[in-house]
Structure 1
C-alpha cells in the first residue's frame, strides 16, 4: 500500500462554474468530497500540492487525509480533470473513506525476474496484455502494485491472474475468467534452445578460465 499523506483545504460556500473559476484565479483547485452517506462537501486545495500529487504517480490508489480548518477527513481520490493544453489540474473528486469502505481501483502491474525466464533469454519477447488490473478491495488496503514473476517462463507461456499472489481482501473485478496479464512470444531473433545453452556454457567456461 502507498504511504498516506495529508492535504490542507478550505471549505467553499458556493459551487458552480463561476465559483470554480474564481477558485482557480486565486491559485487553488476546486474539489468535492462525497460518499459515506454524507452530503457532498465543496473544498479548495493548494494548486502546487495537487499538481505534484497527480503527476507524482499513485494518486488514485493512495488514501489521503484532508484537513479542513482542523477537521480531518480520510479520502481516496476518484477522478480528476486536467487542462487539455497546459496539463494543470482543474478539478478533483474525492471519496470519503470509512472503516468498511471498499472500492474498485486500477492497480499497476510490475514484472520481475525477466533474466530468469528461459524464453526471454532465448530472444523471446514479453508481451504485456494488461499494464493495470482493476481490483475490488478495502480502501485502506489498496496495493501499490501487483508483481508478476517471470522466472521459468518459456516461449508460448501465458501468465494469468490466477498465477499472481494477491494481498488479503484484494479480488479482481473480472471474475468470470482467468484472464491473461502477459505472454512470452517468439521473435525472429530468437535463438534455438541448444544454441542458447551452448553459449551460456561457453560464457561460464570463459569466466572460470579467467
Structure 2
C-alpha cells in the first residue's frame, strides 16, 4: 500500500470568520475526528491539497496526515468544494485503527473490454452500471481500486459484483445480503435492443403527458 502523506498544521482559532481568513491566505480549514482522541481542528495548504484531490487515491486510500510532525492514519470522509470556483472549502478526516475494520467506497477499473467479443462489435453497447463499490477490510488490506476483467465479455452478458476477484481480507458486504444484492456492474446489449428498451420506457411517460394535456383541455372547455 502506497504511503500518501498530507501535511497539515494545528488550527487554534475557530469560527466562520477565522475560516474565511484562512481561505484568503491560501489555506483550507479541516477537522480530524474518531478513535480514542478528541477531534482536532487543522489547516492545510490549498495548492498541494488541490493537486492531491485530483487523484483517485485521495478518496479511497488510507492517508497519512502529518500534523506538525505527528502522523496519523486517516480516511477522507467529506470534502466541501466552492460551487463554481476551483476551491476546496473544508475537509473531514476520520482516524483509523490498524485493528478495526473500515468501510470504504473503492473505484472499479474495467480492463480488457476492447479485446472482448462484445467490445469488438460495432452493434453492441457496453454500459458500466457502477463506478465504485463499498468494501470492508482492515486498513492494511484496503485496495486503492478493484479490477474486473471484461476480455471475455459476450454479447448479451451481464457481469455482476460477485465476478470481482477480491484481495485477501477484503469483502463486499452487499453480497452477504443474498443473490438479490449481486448488482450488475457491466451489461453488453445490442444497440437496437437498447434503443427499443429506451422507447418502451419513454412511452408511458408520453402517454401520461398526453392524458394530462387532454384533461387540461377538457377543464378549459368547461
Query: TM exceeds 0.5?
Result: yes
Aligned counterpart, 1:61: 60
Offset of 1:188 from its aligned partner?
4.0
| Conservation of the 8 A alpha-carbon contact between 2:3 and 2:63 | yes
Q: Quick one: distance in 2 between partners of 1:121 and 1:88?
A: 41
1:132 to 2:136 alignment: no
Alignment of 1:116-195 (within 5 A): 116-123=115-122, 124-175=124-175, 176=177, 177-188=181-192
Q: Quick one: distance in 1 between partners of 2:51 and 2:134?
A: 24
Offset of 1:110 from its aligned partner?
1.3
Offset of 1:125 from its aligned partner?
1.6
Q: Quick one: distance in 1 between partners of 2:22 and 2:74?
A: 21
Q: 1:127 to 1:42 in 2, by over 3 A?
A: same
Aligned Cα root-mean-square deviation (Å)? 1.9
Unaligned runs of 5+ in 2: 194-222
Secondary structure of 2:186's partner?
A: strand
| Conservation of the 8 A alpha-carbon contact between 2:118 and 2:126 | no
| Conservation of the 8 A alpha-carbon contact between 1:76 and 1:139 | no
Aligned counterpart, 2:20: 21
Alignment of 1:192-203 (within 5 A): none
Aligned counterpart, 1:109: 108
| Conservation of the 8 A alpha-carbon contact between 1:104 and 1:173 | no
Q: Quick one: distance in 2 between partners of 1:24 and 1:102?
A: 35
1:45 to 2:44 alignment: yes
Secondary structure of 1:174's partner?
A: helix
Offset of 1:23 from its aligned partner?
1.8
| Conservation of the 8 A alpha-carbon contact between 2:161 and 2:184 | yes
Q: 1:154 to 1:22 in 2, by over 3 A?
A: same
Q: Quick one: distance in 1 between partners of 2:76 and 2:141?
A: 14
| Conservation of the 8 A alpha-carbon contact between 1:33 and 1:40 | yes
| Conservation of the 8 A alpha-carbon contact between 2:96 and 2:102 | no
Which is helix-richer, 1 or 2?
2
Q: Quick one: distance in 2 between partners of 1:81 and 1:102?
A: 26
If asked which structure has higher relative contact order (CA below 8 Å, sep 6+), I would say 1
Q: Quick one: distance in 1 between partners of 2:96 and 2:185?
A: 29
Secondary structure of 1:162's partner?
A: helix
Secondary structure of 2:29's partner?
A: strand
Q: Which moved more, 1:163-172 or 1:112-121?
A: 112-121
Which is strand-richer, 1 or 2?
1
| Matched pairs, number | 188
Offset of 1:140 from its aligned partner?
3.0
| Conservation of the 8 A alpha-carbon contact between 1:60 and 1:79 | no
TM-score (norm 2): 0.78
| Conservation of the 8 A alpha-carbon contact between 1:112 and 1:149 | yes
